[in-house]
Amino acid sequence: MTDSPPDKNGRLLLNKPRWSQDTFSGRAKHFFTITNPLNLLATNEQLTSAKILVDKYKLGIEPPGTTAEQVWSAKYLYDSAYHPDTGEKQLLIGRMSAQVPMNMTITGAMMTFYRTTPAVIFWQWLNQSFNAIVNYTNRSGDAPISTSMLMQAYVSATGAALGVGLGLKMMVKRFPPIVGRFVPFAAVAAANCVNIPLMRQRELMHGIPVFDENGNRLGESKIAAQNAVQMTVVSRIIMALPGMTIPPFIMNYLESRTFMKRMPWLASPVQIGLVGVILCFATPMCCAIFPQISSLTINDLELPLQESIAKNWKGVDKVYFNKGL
């Protein structure tokens, strides 16, 4: 996968990812850099320096001798820590680079300690608390979300996760033990269907910004917001799928082995490690399922916005929007 071509003056196009986003492989390569857990080790000084270099390069006033590789490295750090719409520095644990270490710990623990009711309640609550932070941090658009909306989304998603988790836990008692290992995934999937739409309900009610291919803001679209939220829900569920469905089979086999019976304390670190390895690949590849900057034709938008664009922006037949993560 080659780099995106520069502009007619030979300048890097930093308003776009390094690799073409028209293909899955290009999007995957982009998200492997964004979700790299090593980005979390960057200091505030390094992040600030990266932002300054990116901002200066866009203005054409970068320090003499700056190489393309230095600019792209700064862009990776910038993209991993700053919101694409607001430009604000994101909460550390809400960044996509925190997805692997945080999810491997929480998911591994959910799948290890799923047999007792207190354990189900604690780990589902912790998981939804983390998800709420991630969904808020990676929301689409630049409009603020109220505290009441945040609390409504958080309480509803936690309730959904606990309801599904505890309900299925009771139902699977008469099934083979392997079935119980999949209860956490069902609870997480159900919670994502509740948490993400509620956390981003302001987008659904008021719309998200849509732009032309040159980055000109054309207005706000509720239809674009609906598409953005739907794509995010699907990718999040698929993202959780491999890490929460493959390890149960492996652990079911390992726990029947003599060495694991002699050292039962190994179950938790082994399961967390398995989830971590899988998430290192699943996270960026599932983020890449849909283009980060997605598009709709003018005819797919609400009628008033169609008319506004036709009146004020001649020749525009497609709009673009950030779907969020």
Residue pair 177/115 in contact by the 8 Å Cβ criterion: no
Is 66 a member of any domain?
yes
Kindly give the pairing relationship between strand 217-221 and strand 293-297: unpaired
Domain boundary among 43, 70, 89: 89
Q: What is the mean pLDDT of the chain?
A: 82
| Claim to verify: residue 164 and residue 259 sit in the same structural domain | yes
Is 232 a member of any domain?
yes
| Claim to verify: residue 84 and residue 122 sit in the same structural domain | no
pLDDT single digits (tens) 41-62: 889 999 999 998 988 888 888 8
User: Per the structure block, which two tokens stand in for 273?
Assistant: 């490690």
**How crowded is residue 144: how many other Cβ atoms within 10 Å of its Cβ?**
10
Which of the pair, 247 or 37, is modelled with greater confidence?
Answer: 37
List the beta strands (DSSP E) in the chain.
Answer: 208-211, 217-221, 293-297, 318-322
SS3 content of the chain, % helix, strand, coil (to 5): 65, 5, 25
| Claim to verify: residue 163 and residue 247 sit in the same structural domain | yes
Confidence of residue 140 (pLDDT cuts 50, 70, 90): low
| Claim to verify: residue 189 and residue 292 sit in the same structural domain | yes
Is 11 a member of any domain?
no
Domain that residue 52 falls in? 24-89
| Claim to verify: residue 300 and residue 250 sit in the same structural domain | yes
Domain boundary among 32, 61, 89: 89
| Claim to verify: residue 60 and residue 145 sit in the same structural domain | no
Confidence of residue 224 (pLDDT cuts 50, 70, 90): very high
| Claim to verify: residue 259 and residue 278 sit in the same structural domain | yes
Residue pair 153/161 in contact by the 8 Å Cβ criterion: no
Say which residues have a Cβ less than 8 Å from residue 287's Cβ, sequence separation at least 6. 27, 31, 34, 35, 96, 235, 239, 325
User: What's the average model confidence in pLDDT over 76-105?
Assistant: 84
User: What's the average model confidence in pLDDT over 200-206?
Assistant: 83
**pLDDT given for residue 251 in this prediction:** 80
pTM for this model (two decimals): 0.73
| Claim to verify: residue 177 and residue 58 sit in the same structural domain | no
User: Per the structure block, which two tokens stand in for 314?
Assistant: 């001649």
DSSP code string of 237-292:
HHHHHHHHHHHHHHHHHHTTSHHHHH-GGGHHHHHHHHHHHHHHHHHHHHHTSS-S
Is 4 a member of any domain?
no
If one counts the domains in the chain, the total is 2
**How crowded is residue 296: how many other Cβ atoms within 10 Å of its Cβ?**
16
| Claim to verify: residue 135 and residue 45 sit in the same structural domain | no
Is 234 a member of any domain?
yes
Q: Quote the Cα angle for 162-165-170, to 5°.
A: 120
**Which residue, chain included where needed, has tokens 């309640």?**
121
Which of the pair, 282 or 172, is modelled with greater confidence?
Answer: 282
Domain boundary among 49, 66, 89: 89
| Claim to verify: residue 61 and residue 134 sit in the same structural domain | no
Is 312 a member of any domain?
yes
Is 17 a member of any domain?
no
Residue pair 297/274 in contact by the 8 Å Cβ criterion: no
| Claim to verify: residue 155 and residue 80 sit in the same structural domain | no
pLDDT single digits (tens) 254-264: 878 887 788 87
How far is it, in rounded angstroms, from Cα 172 to Cα 58?
57
